[in-house]
Structure 1
């Protein structure tokens, strides 16, 4: 082996050894001072050996002295650093600064102590040898306090001793042969040093590895023990904390170790079983529950057994599947039990007493169910949590369907059932369903009044609650809404009534006298518009201001008060005295007073008007009584007058002597006139509206003329009547129009009574084909109606006549009759065409009431077609004879009987085309005869007709309306009888 190869091999071994030692020490002990000291030691030794190797290179060092000084200094440093590492590892204090100073001083002394002579070799040999030996032994003694050393330690001591002996031997050889003078000795010395030093240091390295490995094992074991103790202490601490936590939990808690043994539980768990916690530790939870099975009533609704098998089975399933149990004890306590497995192994059981919660929930459910309104509650996600039966009925669905829907869809379903929202029909609000849902979900609140399609009303509200979620309430306000609508209608009617009052009316709020309502008359009297009155204080319209309003409001009571005096003030500031009366009421939700007042500035005129109205009312009552008396007299005249009229017509029809015929015609005309007068009296006395049927207006005019003719002749009033020939019949109540023209004729007579000169009254009647109306003008040449009273002539009890001369009801009734037939009556101004009649001019326009062609159906005046068999029933023999003569002259076959019973007997064996029966007869009356025919001979019902003079009887009128059979009033003419028979024949022919 040459020198270069040896050098490379030696350096490789040294470097590997030092690297391993450094790595082990650094990983084992971390960054500690003794490991750092050892690292520096081996680093310095490496540099020293590098110097030894470089010394083998010729001329690398300038001289041997320089080389040896460097190597010796590094030897001192390595030895001292190694010693420092041992001392630090042993836990001893090391004065590093003083040791560094000692190394420097030792190097300086060594260098200065080398003489130039032959003793240089001894100095060179002894200095590093003694230093190395001393360092190794000191380190061994200081570090190892053991009396017995291991093989590695003895190996290190032996290597160090060998090194020292080698150094002594080499020093002796050098001394005996002259080291400095013999180059061969010098090379041999270097070779021995080169070989022995690595051996010594390698032995020291093995020693250090052994020591470090032993120390590392102890270190690891100590660390493991410390970690185990630390973990155990931590586990004990955590277990204590867990025990404390379990102890303070208000619920019942039990934990097992996975094998079924109970490792922890709290006092609540033991208390529910009636045991001590210590008795339950180490035992299986399932076996514990089973042992106390007699305490349990049911598990998830399933009845428990005394052995606890049902409870144990339920807990076992809960532990395996991780679901919740509802356990009820026999003392009626209820627990919600949760079971779960933990990752570390084992199971945990948690039981919570929910008895109070369930009771509260039951009470809440009962409260929600008994709420007088539809109620539902939704969580923040829109899921239904609770609702009552009223909400189910509102949706027309059960609870399960409602629970399956979102709040948005339920709101939409509810809104889609509405017919109107806040009074506006839903079919007039496009997209309002979506708008209502969006408003409820975005703003958190919506409220509206909705009408369902079945007519019920609900106040529907949706509100967002603080904790999230929504409450939807639908309150049935149908009854309240109906009351409100009735109130609104009543208030509207009240306004209309009060507005139309001729006297001023105000409604005042009691609290401050604010005007809430003013009638048209009040606006006119106070000279203010509605906007100026409404909202103003009553004191604004009183002479003394607001102070005057207080006694005004306080002077009324809950009953109609007496008239009181006050001074009012118009808008322009003018004052006027007034009489007022008030009545307390509630108006628009306010305590109010309705007050009417009268301007009494012309008190005498007012009193005179009141007196005149009272007299007019009294006169009206007298005339009404007189009319009733006259009607009764007229009714009693009916039967004898019927005989006169009928016989007069029979004589007229049967006489061929012209002279006799003329006299008979006069009798006939007089009889017809008497008949019209009697009918007019009866119609005036008849109550209620008569039957509307076709009639000729000229008949009514002539009847009224006949009634008034005596008065006209007495007052020398000329009456001119002009009726166009083309005036058709109209549909209506002929009796009412007879009264209309009587009133108009009498008014004209009274207006002309005190007038000097010519007194004229004219009536013109024409037919307006364009409008299909009959126009009647009644004019006179009297003084006319004053302009200031023309607007009131149609008001009730208003009259311009003297006291006792008029009732003030004539024109009022005239207008009512005309309007009831769809017509109009107006007071017309004077025109040049009527220069001779500058007084009052009344114009009536009357619609025909139906198609003109239908109205112009003419009564049959000739003989009916064919010959009919007629049965006459009447208890008056004269009437039977007269009627029989009329019918026989027309060619009919007539049989007359005097009672309804006889007629019924005849009808059993014989039939007639026409049956004419009186309505009122002794024995079997006409009504009873009709009822008997309806049952026994219903085919003859269409043949019967009635005649009556009892037109005032309400019973008779009711029967005639119900039976719907033709009737002719006494007294009658042959034309009336012909028309009656013609109508029956036509009815029979049509069917």
Structure 2
């Protein structure tokens, strides 16, 4: 094999030597060829007739042909007609004595479209006549692709940055900026070029200037991400609070090349925080004059905890804003950018509502209790919860797909879920799993909850858990195990008050080293009203779309009534119960059910009397009688179109009878 290769090299050397002018007996052409073959660029020589007279190995390999087959061929033959015609002006200029350097595309026969960088160098004899040209060629396809990708990436970054609702910039080491986005330019009121060169120290409020400059210098020196918050002068002369986050950027060699930053206007939030601090200070001054020294001491301590914890709760929500903006800076499609921006803005709004909740806590704020759908509400909170919890915590959702309205204040329910999620996150500093689930529960004998159907919403974590003595005081206002400044002790108290004021309750299960589960119970709403659910539909429309119905069950026997209710709920129906005829008539007027299931024999008002009242009110109302006797004729006199189901029966038979009764109204 080695001999064959040596023989091939010798033949190629001889072929190349024969194609070149006689260079003299003392000229060792094999050495020149060896040097040319060792170079990483493609080298060739073309004579005046445009025939290849010299080709190094790199050029032959690029054309994927043996060198001896290329020697003596013309440029047109090797390049092809189309490429040759595009090169003709350059070839003619080179033969006229003008060196030609260019970069162009080349349609390679097997590798497709490539990019090359070529240098046509005219060669002259002793008389100054051009006898040919040297070809120096490099394949720059990968370089071109990298340059194109970089340009596209920069263009996408500019589009994203200019679409962001916050100020964004990229600085050099001299504090001038390579890039500023549209919001940045708009805030300054300058041209883009002037904004790039603006010295921000001129725009800082005099009261904040010394502090911010010192914090900025320290932040840059740390070579870590740092945050600044101060008042800056906007182009219209108004002072605005800006919160900026800056991060160092490094060059390919690892050296610091500047910083990249984003800033958001937090004026409203800052003013609300300052106003809250002012109110807390006033309240503290009032309490200091109270005659009961013990009560004065307790309240001042509570207010001190509240003041120290405000920044914590508020910053939890502002962290969502920064997290959303950080995601925007990393993404490359406008659709996702809009979603992250909306999440960030929604978090800021929730932060304002949380502050209002804290202010109103001592006044026992009145809730706007109304029919609310738990599962859709949690679904809409998913982006916010994802940003609040961060990437270190796994999120699992197991929400009951059946829709049943409960009595709750949707805004306060969101705040409660958010508080519980934040508590869970703090209990899992090293990461873990947060599980949010919902399901129906029938509550019977309970000291706090009235018997009936409830929605149980549980938030479970795999965190540190609580000791028994801590668990016993978990709902006490201002009680917290967190260090000063890390929590107010109001979170669980507010959750408990919201649930109880809604007619429900809260339970906590916790074990050290295992985790904590908080279960919220909400009463079922007897009617939907016109409250829109997910997608703008009413609860009635959503149930219909899922094949469920609202059924009023009237039976004086508790065991039978509960069996019927449980069976219907198992098949996805919403059930409203009544223990006698009078309650049944009242419930019918309030809930307007799709179907009424009536026991024929009941004390007081009989099933026939109840049916007569219902038919008189709504003649086309579907009715299903259940009875252990044969009262068909009597039933037909009262409700000729009613369906009848004889006792005893199984759940599947009951479901078939319900479907048949409902089908008669839609046939």
One fold, TM greater than 0.5? no
**TM-score of the pair, normalised by structure 2:** 0.35
**TM-score of the pair, normalised by structure 1:** 0.25
1 or 2, which has the higher helix percentage?
1
Larger relative contact order, structure 1 or 2 (CA cutoff 8 Å, min sep 6):
2
